[in-house]
Each structure stands twice: as structure tokens, then as C-alpha cells.
Amino acid sequence: MSWSPNSLPAPLFFLWNRPAVGLGMIVYALAFNLPLVAIQRYNRPRLLRIKSQRQGRDDALDLWDI
């Protein structure tokens, strides 16, 4: 995981809220983001395979490179 300036205010959330609220936000974030991350990881090899098959053909418009 990389550091981002956007994540700087995140620890401040825990200073002004109860620990239970902070824990709830972490659980919420994991519950709703991990399934989407898993789907992306599953689809990536499939999309790369399709892209490599399409690169073998000369298409006038290659939508994967947009």
C-alpha cells in the first residue's frame, strides 16, 4: 500500500470520534471494497488474454487502447 496526501486526514477521524465509530468505518470499508478488489483480480487475467488476442488482429478501432 502506498502513501497518498489524501490519506493524511484519515487518522484525524479517530481523534474526534469514538473508537467504535472508527472501527465501524474500517469494517464498512473492508466489507464493501474487498469484494470489488477480488472481482478485479479475477477479471484482470481474462481481460489481458482478450487484449492479447485482439492485438493479433489489425482492427481499425482498438477500444482497449483508449
Q: Considering the domain boundaries, does residue 66 fall inside one? A: no
Where residue 5 falls among pLDDT bands split at 50, 70, 90?
confident
Q: Considering the domain boundaries, does residue 7 fall inside one? A: no
Percentage of the chain exceeding pLDDT 90: 30
Range of the domain at 37: 28-54
Q: Give the predicted TM-score (pTM) of the model.
A: 0.56
Where residue 30 falls among pLDDT bands split at 50, 70, 90?
very high
**Domain tally, the chain:** 1
Q: Considering the domain boundaries, does residue 49 fall inside one? A: yes
Q: Considering the domain boundaries, does residue 2 fall inside one? A: no
Q: Considering the domain boundaries, does residue 22 fall inside one? A: no
Helix runs in 1-66, H state only: 10-16, 19-55
Q: Which three cell numbers stand for residue 22?
A: 472508527
Q: Considering the domain boundaries, does residue 37 fall inside one? A: yes
Q: Which of 12, 43, 13, 44 is nearest to 28 (CA)?
A: 13
Please give the pLDDT value at position 9. 80
Per the model's pLDDT, the better-predicted residue between 50 and 6 turns out to be 50
Q: Distance (Å, rounded) from C-alpha 61 to C-alpha 18?
A: 54
Q: Which three cell numbers stand for residue 4?
A: 497518498
Average pLDDT on 52-66 reads 62
